[in-house]
Structure 1
Amino acid sequence: MSDVDPLSPQSSSVPTAQNAMLEEFARVYLAQQRRERRWRWIWRGLGLILMVSMIWAAMESVPASKAPSAPHTALVEVRGEIGADQNANADNLTTALRSAFEDDGAMGVVLRINSPGGSPVQAGLVNDEIRRLKALHKKKVYAVCEEMCASAAYYIAVAADSIYVDKASMVGSIGVLMDGFGFVGVMDKLGVERRLMTSGSNKGMLDPFSPRNAQQEAYAQAMLDQIHQQFITVVKEGRGSRLKEGPDTFSGLFWNGQQAVELGLADHLGSLDSLARDVIKAENIIDYTLKENLAERLAKRFGAAFGAGTVQAMRASVSIH
């Protein structure tokens, strides 16, 4: 028979330790349950946001019912860089322009431009579509240049019947460029060897890590000159006899708005409001510019950026800036 007294401190320490263990287990278990509950609500909230954004995107993608509209000035914005992967791309701009031209209530179509330029391809597509729509619908098109209307932006503007500028706007820059870097000297100093394998003698043309090649550079220069000549032709066709051509007109220089009017690169000083009120005679302005919806913004923020930096760094591009 044991001599241990059940009331002694030694005997009471066993259940005390067990109680402490049970309390600790219960505390950890409850904390775990709270965490799981919290994450469950977070994921439900994210799912709800995603579902709402998808419904919103679907609703915005449904075209509005066609109804006669009151007389108004139709506005299409050209903002920022012009490029296939930018908001100011040919698909967006031509879609907006078609909607504006097709509306019987649109008394005139205005392109409000604030852009440093960009892709000659995208600008050319928009220019061609403006001229087609003008001939089809017999409506006047006006370009209103704000801070900048340069290069590819001016390529678009010359399709308009009249170009309006502010006296301090930057206008022109009728030229073409191809830019890049050369890292051969840096690689020599660091002792880095370039190992480039190609199938085709010109496949690695203008590679920034290889020595310059005079023949390839001459070929690239000839291509730029051809694109420049295309730009010049479009400007001359659009401006006609209004253009006061000088030695610097197609050199890539740009001018302020007042100078642009004097040189025939623009027609008048004015703004969107003054144009709608005094020229088009329809003060009500309706914006036909395509806007990004929430789903598209989320997609760009969380998806489109992956890998884009590497691709952009490796891709040589031609632009008219």
Structure 2
Amino acid sequence: MTALTDGQIEAPKRPWYKRIFGNRGPVVPVVRLQGVISQDLKPGRLNIASVAPLLEKAFKIKKAPVVAIVVNSPGGSAVQSRLIAQRIRQLADQHEKKVLVFVEDAAASGGYFIATAGDEIIADPSSLVGSIGVIMASFGFVDAIARLGIDRRLYTAGKNKSTLDPFLPEKSEDVARIKQMELDIHEVFIDYVKSRRADKIKPADDEVYTGEFWTAKRGLAMGLVDSLGDLHGTLRERFGKDVTIKSIAPKKGLLQLPNFGLSAGGDIAGDLMAKIEDRQAWSRLGL
């Protein structure tokens, strides 16, 4: 077996009688986490409600030497990212199993938050990692409705209830308040990454926690990932050519329309908007 570097997980030795008489190789459950992270339950979105049952099923496979998680996400909800990462660690500790995270196209922002829940992060050299930052965006339509001659009437109780209303002029106090919220969320993100990888990340904080993202090849030198590789190649190297990769995926109901990515409720407009939002999230990474 190929020698492993410090911190890598090696396959357990098989009992002598199995080495003599032969048997099927070890089974490694694989959970694929792909898409934008959002509390929205629309198809293709990642959240604790949709992900938790898959993780629990994977960790219940007692004889599995490790649990593998494939992350392919541009990010999204900070809360859902933290909840998913936290559930991964809870299950890993409960079942005393190591977690290998594999990055495909991207583990950026919330996607990287989830990836750091792994004991090892293994990434394709051309994948994108990092983007440890927080972003909020909105639009302003004040001039537009004025040109259209529209008179908007807004009634609130609470002086800050209309914060960031797109039809009102932007107020400096609103911007300051939102900026503080971003800083608070960013601090949670930074603290979690440090709790998982503080001894591995090499550059200074003001180089890493800027919201910038890098290729995994560069991320390896920075300590954001542990090695370069892919799911099948790594598992065969670690656990032998007879390793069985067991995909843990959600059951497809009769009302699901996977070819079109539409929800069973028939909310075509909502599904279309979700697709546009997802496309925007990926486009920030140039993907």
- The normalised TM-score by structure 1 is 0.71
The one of 22, 32, 36 aligned to 1:81: 36
1:293 lines up with 2:253 in the alignment: yes
1:175 lines up with 2:133 in the alignment: yes
* Aligned amino acid, residue 214 of structure 1: S
> How many angstroms does 1:240 deviate by?
2.4
The one of 262, 270, 276 aligned to 1:308: 270
> How many angstroms does 1:310 deviate by?
11
Query: Structure 1 residues 169, 240: closer, same or farther in 2, change over 3 A?
Result: same
Contact 1:74-1:107 at 8 Å conserved across structures: no
> How many angstroms does 1:192 deviate by?
2.1
Distance 1:169 1:105 in 2: 31
Contact 1:111-1:141 at 8 Å conserved across structures: yes
> How many angstroms does 1:120 deviate by?
1.1
Alignment: residue pair count: 247
- Tell me the alpha carbon deviations over residues 119-139 of structure 1, each in whole angstroms, 9 at most, x when there is no partner: 111111111111111111111
Match of 2:96 in 1: 138
The one of 172, 182, 188 aligned to 2:146: 188
1:71 lines up with 2:26 in the alignment: yes
Matches within 5 A, 1:1-321: 71-84=26-39, 85-86=41-42, 87=44, 88-246=46-204, 247-281=206-240, 283-297=243-257, 300-301=262-263, 303-305=265-267, 308=270
Of structures 1 and 2, the larger Rg is shown by: 1
* Aligned amino acid, residue 150 of structure 2: V
Distance 1:170 1:310 in 2: 26
Q: Which has the higher helix share?
A: 1
Distance 1:114 1:310 in 2: 21
Contact 1:115-1:153 at 8 Å conserved across structures: yes
* RMSD of equivalent CA atoms: 2.5
- Tell me the alpha carbon deviations over residues 110-165 of structure 1, each in whole angstroms, 9 at most, x when there is no partner: 11111111111111111111111111111110110011111111110001000001
* Aligned amino acid, residue 38 of structure 2: G
Fraction of identical pairs, as percent: 35
Distance 1:108 1:137 in 2: 10
> How many angstroms does 1:306 deviate by?
5.9
> How many angstroms does 1:105 deviate by?
2.6
Distance 1:257 1:301 in 2: 34
* Aligned amino acid, residue 146 of structure 2: D
Query: Structure 1 residues 241, 137: closer, same or farther in 2, change over 3 A?
Result: same
* Aligned amino acid, residue 106 of structure 1: A
Residue 143 of structure 1 aligns to a residue whose secondary structure is strand
Match of 1:51 in 2: none
Distance 2:271 2:32 in 1: 27
> How many angstroms does 1:95 deviate by?
1.2
Distance 2:32 2:247 in 1: 8
Distance 1:137 1:232 in 2: 27
Distance 2:153 2:74 in 1: 37
